[in-house]
Amino acid sequence: MSSEPQRPGSREVHDYTEEYGYHSDQRSLRRDPPRVSNQNQPQFDWISPHEEEDEEGSSGPPRDLRATPLPMALKRAIRQVQQMQVPVVSSRDSWKRKNAKSLRKLKDCGMGFLSFFSLWSKTLQKIGGNFGGGVQSYFLFLRFLVVLNFVSFLLIAGFVLVPSIVFRSVGAALVNSTGQEACMVYDPNPEGLVVFYNYFLDLLSGTGFMEYSYLFYGYYNNTMVEDKNISYNMPLAYLFTAVFYFVFCLICIIARMGTAARVVVATGSSTVGDYSMIVFTSWDYGCLGDRATKLKQKNIHYQLQVDLEEESIKKRAAALTLSQKIVLYSLRVSMCFVSYGLIIAAFYGIFVATEFSQVKNGQGGILGLFFEYLPSIVITAGNFVVPLLCDQIALIERYSPSTTVIVALLRAVFLRLVSLGVLLFTLWRQITCEGAENTGECKLCQYNHLLYPCWETRVGQEMYKLTLFDFLINIAVLVLVEFPRRMVVDNWSNKLSQWVGRQEFVVPANVLGLVYGQTVVWTGALFCPLLPLINTLKFILLFYFKKITLFHNCRPALKTFRSTTSTFFFLVVLLFGLGLGTVVMIYSLSEIRPSMGCGPFRFFPSMWSIVPTSFNNLSIITQDFLFFIGSQSFSIPLFALSCVVMCYVVALASVYGKSVALLRAQIKLEGRDKQFLVKQIEMLSRRQQILKQTAGASS
pLDDT at residue 149 is higher than 90: yes
198 contacts: CB under 8 Å, gap ≥ 6: 190, 208
Q: Residue 7 CA to chain centroid, in angstroms?
A: 56
In this predicted model, which residue has the larger pLDDT, 137 or 243?
243
Q: What integer is the mean pLDDT of 622-635?
A: 82
SS3 223: strand
pLDDT at residue 93 above 70?
Answer: yes
What is the distance, to the nearest Å, from the Cα of residue 20 to the centroid of all Cα atoms in its chain?
55
How far is Cα 459 from Cα 590, in angstroms, rounded to an integer? 16
What's the start-to-end Cα distance of the chain, in Å?
52
Nearest to 139 by CA among 395, 666, 511, 662: 511
pLDDT at 647: 93
pLDDT tens readout for residues 101-146: 888 888 777 776 666 567 788 888 788 777 767 788 888 889 999 9
Q: Write the DSSP assignment of 227-295 as a string of letters.
A: -SS-EEEHHHHHHHHHHHHHHHHHHHHHHHHHHHHHHHHHHTTSHHHHHHHHHHH---TT--HHHHHHH
Q: How confident is the model at residue 243 (pLDDT cuts 50, 70, 90)?
A: very high
Which H/E stretch holds residue 575? helix 563-590
* pLDDT tens digits along 652-686: 888 887 887 888 788 888 878 888 888 888 888 88
pLDDT at position 691 over 90: no
pLDDT for res 59? 43
DSSP state of 69: -
pLDDT in tens, 485-524: 888 887 887 777 777 677 778 777 788 888 889 999 999 9
In whole angstroms, give the CA distance from residue 273 to residue 266. 7
The more confident residue out of 316 and 117 is 316
Do 156 and 246 form a contact (C-beta atoms < 8 A)?
Answer: no
Output the pLDDT for position 538: 94
Read out DSSP for 147-164?
A: HHHHHHHHHHIIIIIHHH
Confidence of residue 20 (pLDDT cuts 50, 70, 90): very low
CB 489 within 8 A of CB 468: no
CB 538 within 8 A of CB 595: no
Lowest mean pLDDT among 35-49, 235-249, 481-495, 529-543: 35-49
CA 369, distance to chain mean position in Å, is: 35
| Higher pLDDT among residues 624 and 562, named by residue | 624
Helical H segments across 432-562, by residue range: 455-477, 483-491, 495-500, 507-524, 531-553
pLDDT computed for residue 258 by the predictor: 82
Helix spans in 398-477 (H): 401-431, 455-477
Question: Which comes out higher in pLDDT, residue 281 or 45?
Answer: 281
Three-class SS state of 225:
strand
Residue 21 DSSP label: T
Is the predicted pLDDT of residue 28 greater than 90, yes or no?
no
User: Helix (H, G, I), strand (E, B), or coil: what is residue 39?
Assistant: coil
Phi, psi of 42 (to 5 degrees): -70, 130
Report which secondary-structure segment, H or E, holds 454: none
Q: How confident is the model at residue 3 (pLDDT cuts 50, 70, 90)?
A: very low
| 142-158 average pLDDT score | 92
Residue 264 has what pLDDT?
A: 65
- Find how far residue 368's CA is from the centre of its chain: 39
State yes or no: pLDDT of 9 exceeds 60.
Answer: no
Q: What is the pLDDT of residues 323-343, one digit of tens each?
A: 877 887 888 888 888 888 888
The Cα 56–Cα 93 span in angstroms is: 10
- What is the rounded distance in angstroms from the CA atom of residue 546 to the CA atom of residue 298? 20
- Mean pLDDT over residues 302-321, rounded? 75
> What percent of the chain is predicted at pLDDT more than 70?
76
Over residues 446-473, the pLDDT tens digits come to 888 888 888 888 889 889 988 998 898 8
pTM of this prediction?
0.71
Contacts with 363 (C-beta within 8 Å, 6 or more apart), sequence order: 371
**Mean pLDDT taken over the chain:** 76
Higher local confidence (pLDDT), 564 or 36: 564
In 3D space, the residue among 407, 632, 587, 511 whose CA is nearest the CA of residue 135 turns out to be 511
DSSP string covering 410-423, please? HHHHHHHHHHHHHH
- Can you tell me the distance from the alpha carbon of 86 to that of 70, in angstroms, rounded to the nearest whole number? 25
553 near 130, Cβ under 8 Å?
no
Secondary structure tally for the chain: helices H, strands E = 23, 5
β-strand pairing of 554-555 with 503-504: parallel
- pLDDT at position 339, please? 82
Q: What is the pLDDT of residues 182-200, one digit of tens each?
A: 788 887 775 556 666 777 7
How many other C-beta atoms are found inside a 10 Å radius of the C-beta of residue 698? 6
**Within 13 A of 46's CA, how many CA atoms are on the CB side?**
26
Strand order across the beta sheet in which 172-173 lies: 172-173, 223-226, 231-233
- Measured over the CA atoms of residue 264, residue 269, residue 272 and residue 275, the dihedral's sign is positive
> How much is the CA Rg of the chain, to the nearest whole Å?
34
Task: Give the mean pLDDT of 361-387.
Answer: 74
Q: What percent of the chain has pLDDT over 90?
A: 11
